[in-house]
Amino acid sequence: MKKIAIISLLLFVSSFGFAQNEEMMDVVVLMKAQYNRTELCRKADCCASRAERRDYVVKELKAYTEASQYELEAILNELEQQELVSSIHSLWSANALYFSATESVVASLSGRNDIEYIGPITRYQLTSEVEAARTTSATHEITPNITQVNADQVWALGYTGAGVVVGVVDSGVNYNHLDLADHLWDGGEAFPHHGYDIVNDDDDPMDDKGHGTHVAGIVCGDGTSGSQTGVAPDATLMCVKTTAADGFGGAVNIAGGMEWAVEHGCDLINLSQGMAGAGVADKEIFRRTCTAILDAGIVALVCAGNEGNSFLQMAYPIPDNVRVPASCPPPYLDPDQLVNPGALSCVVAVGAVNYNDAAADFTSQGPVTWQNTEFGDYAYNPGIGLIRPDVCAPGINIKSLDYNNISGYTTMDGTSQATPCVAGIVALMLQKNPELTPAQICQILEETSVKLTSNKSNITGVGRVDALAAVNAVTEWNDVIETVKHQAHIFPNPSTDEFTIECEGMRRIEVFSMDGRLVKSLQTESPVHQLVGLMNGTFLVKITTVDGVIVKKVVKL
């Protein structure tokens, strides 16, 4: 049946008679169809690890998107043969496409009932004048933003971000800089330059703006050239370029960069970019993308923006002062948000403070709203909207890496500089426990921050992040899992109700959440026990027997 439909559509295309001399325009399409999140997440919860969950969700969403876009892509491919369409790209995270096409093609496609939106791609300035670079020199120090958040004290505990892949989605990275060169993501023969350039669609994400190299240095610059700039100096850096040399880019570039990083195995995303004054379609692209990335189990640290001072606020008034996608909701709702709750996404939004923990005058201010989009939540009037940002970090006079040479340094101001500080802290947390979920990461960051206001603020969030407190709040994975091997059976697993545990010599049963929190503990000497009362989720069951310990994973649906 599908083949017949495609043949009919292609016959229609070939008979339409599009003009061959029209100018091409860059357009984006949002498909109407959206995946069943409840069903996808139910199955993803059965995955044995966060990495397996990420791979499973990516695979499923790519398959869903391919099926959803099958007929439309067949038409576009035929039109491409006629030179009426070019550069077709699909976004599996948003069920969207973008391409170049003639105006008559766009007009003809706009009537399709499987398309939610079709329109021109808007380019935005993704970096601001606030972030202008000021060259400085190496002074063989640990930069003060690191000591302000106590990251150096975390290094003394043995956590430096080793083994954690951070996807820096930005203007590219000078991957030859000596402070980065020995801990770059290995992309093999396919990606020899440690990432990808979404803008130019090639494998070389070299920085031609300077912004991304500076951001990367705050995440993981290791001080080889003299100044220790990175919060997580041993984290692995994945470089994804989404901004052109002029500092401009579109929603499709950034969303494509985020999903590329997830698809290729990042553990978290740093996005020190965003769009001020974004239109509804661009907002919806990002909200869809950030929801899919949450479902894949990945957190994104995103800058709130630099439109907070009074002059720019006239141009971007609240509730549109925070840049997109920092305006997307967090993976965890703070108690102060529960008076006006809504759906979640992967975004932890970051504002900027100075070295005295006072808010930077440029840091963008919430609240935001999603009531006039397809999501329809976080009403602003009446209501408080969605509180943004979630946390803040040092963002004034921040020293990091210069992209113009392989050993230089420069300083910048901006929420772009505050955000990688938080990303570095998350890398430290994930080294200690690689199975932390986005919700757990967000909650820990919020609950351990230095409180700057009595309630969650629309300027500084819950407060300024504290790396030492955050890492100390993480339960080490090895403290939960013990490797003694014994025989035990738990069934059914997954279960929608209760679990039956069969094991000879049982003495104690303990149930832990995936972040190591004890949720149930009981004594028993029976070889059979019914485990009841668990909330939905994934848990570790630790069974202490007369001659050892057994750990099993269970999923409650």
Note the pLDDT tens digit of each residue in 435-462.
999 999 999 999 999 999 999 999 999 9
Cα separations in angstroms, 318 against 212, 307, 308, 312, 381: 28, 10, 10, 11, 12
For residue 477, pLDDT beyond 70: no
Of 154-163, 359-368, 531-540, the range with the lowest mean pLDDT is: 531-540
Residue with tokens 């976080």: 378
The better pLDDT of the pair 225, 548 is held by 225
Count Cβ atoms below 10 Å from residue 401 Cβ, excluding itself: 31
Cβ contact 322:275 at 8 Å: no
Cβ neighbors of 156 (< 8 A, separation 6 or more) are none
Pick the last residue of a domain from 121, 138, 160.
Answer: 121
**Mean pLDDT for the stretch of residues 70-83:** 97
pLDDT score recorded for residue 348: 98
Cβ neighbors of 208 (< 8 A, separation 6 or more) are 171, 172, 245
For residues 76 and 130, membership in a common domain is answered with: no
Give me the domain span that covers residue 488.
479-556
pLDDT score recorded for residue 10: 46
For residues 75 and 151, membership in a common domain is answered with: no
pLDDT score recorded for residue 6: 44
**Mean pLDDT for the stretch of residues 7-13:** 46
For residue 19, pLDDT beyond 60: no
For residues 420 and 517, membership in a common domain is answered with: no
For residues 532 and 439, membership in a common domain is answered with: no
pLDDT in tens, 308-358: 986 666 789 999 999 999 999 999 999 999 999 999 999 999 999 999 999
For residues 48 and 191, membership in a common domain is answered with: no
For residues 517 and 371, membership in a common domain is answered with: no
> Under DSSP, is residue 24 helix (H, G, I), strand (E, B) or coil?
strand
**Mean pLDDT for the stretch of residues 420-426:** 98
For residues 187 and 254, membership in a common domain is answered with: yes
pLDDT score recorded for residue 479: 56
pTM for the complete prediction?
0.86
Confidence of residue 487 (pLDDT cuts 50, 70, 90): confident
State residue 314 phi and psi, 5-degree precision. Answer: -65, -35
Cα separations in angstroms, 507 against 418, 484, 540: 49, 15, 17
> Under DSSP, is residue 316 helix (H, G, I), strand (E, B) or coil?
coil
The CB-side HSE value for 495 (13 A sphere, CA atoms) comes to: 18
pLDDT in tens, 237-271: 999 999 999 999 999 999 999 999 999 999 999 99
Confidence of residue 131 (pLDDT cuts 50, 70, 90): low
Strands in 475-536 per DSSP E: 489-491, 499-502, 506-513, 518-523, 528-531
Confidence of residue 3 (pLDDT cuts 50, 70, 90): very low
For residues 243 and 299, membership in a common domain is answered with: yes
Q: Give residue 304's identity as a one-letter amino acid code.
A: A
Residues 89 and 206: their CA atoms lie apart, in Å, by 22
Mean predicted lDDT score pLDDT of the chain: 91
Terminal-to-terminal C-alpha distance of the chain: 36
CATH of the domain at 234: 3.40.50.200
Residues 226 and 234: their CA atoms lie apart, in Å, by 16
pLDDT score recorded for residue 17: 55
For residues 254 and 110, membership in a common domain is answered with: no
Cα separations in angstroms, 407 against 177, 182, 205, 403: 6, 14, 19, 9
How many domains are contained in the chain? 3
**Mean pLDDT for the stretch of residues 406-428:** 97
For residues 360 and 469, membership in a common domain is answered with: yes
Pick the last residue of a domain from 102, 121, 140.
Answer: 121
CATH of the domain at 517: 2.60.40.1930
For residue 129, pLDDT beyond 90: no
Is residue 295 left, alpha or beta, with left meaning phi > 0 and alpha meaning psi from -120 to 50?
alpha
The better pLDDT of the pair 316, 154 is held by 154
Pick the last residue of a domain from 72, 101, 121.
Answer: 121
Strands in 24-84 per DSSP E: 24-31
Confidence of residue 482 (pLDDT cuts 50, 70, 90): very low
Of 194-208, 225-239, 491-505, 537-551, the range with the lowest mean pLDDT is: 537-551
**Mean pLDDT for the stretch of residues 154-180:** 98
| Closest C-alpha among 104, 48, 130 to residue 312 | 130
Strand order in the sheet with 506-513: 518-523, 506-513, 537-545, 548-556
Nearest 5°: the CA angle 280, 64, 3 is 110
**Mean pLDDT for the stretch of residues 189-200:** 97
For residues 349 and 465, membership in a common domain is answered with: yes
For residues 173 and 105, membership in a common domain is answered with: no
Residue with tokens 């939540």: 377
Of 20-29, 158-167, 227-236, 295-304, the range with the lowest mean pLDDT is: 20-29
Cα separations in angstroms, 118 against 77, 148, 282, 455, 539: 17, 47, 11, 41, 43
Confidence of residue 486 (pLDDT cuts 50, 70, 90): low
Confidence of residue 515 (pLDDT cuts 50, 70, 90): low
pLDDT score recorded for residue 430: 98
State residue 225 phi and psi, 5-degree precision. Answer: -90, 0
**Mean pLDDT for the stretch of residues 462-468:** 98
The CB-side HSE value for 45 (13 A sphere, CA atoms) comes to: 22
For residue 484, pLDDT beyond 60: no
Count Cβ atoms below 10 Å from residue 55 Cβ, excluding itself: 17
Residues 252 and 258: their CA atoms lie apart, in Å, by 10
Cα separations in angstroms, 401 against 167, 467, 528: 17, 21, 60
For residue 4, pLDDT beyond 50: no
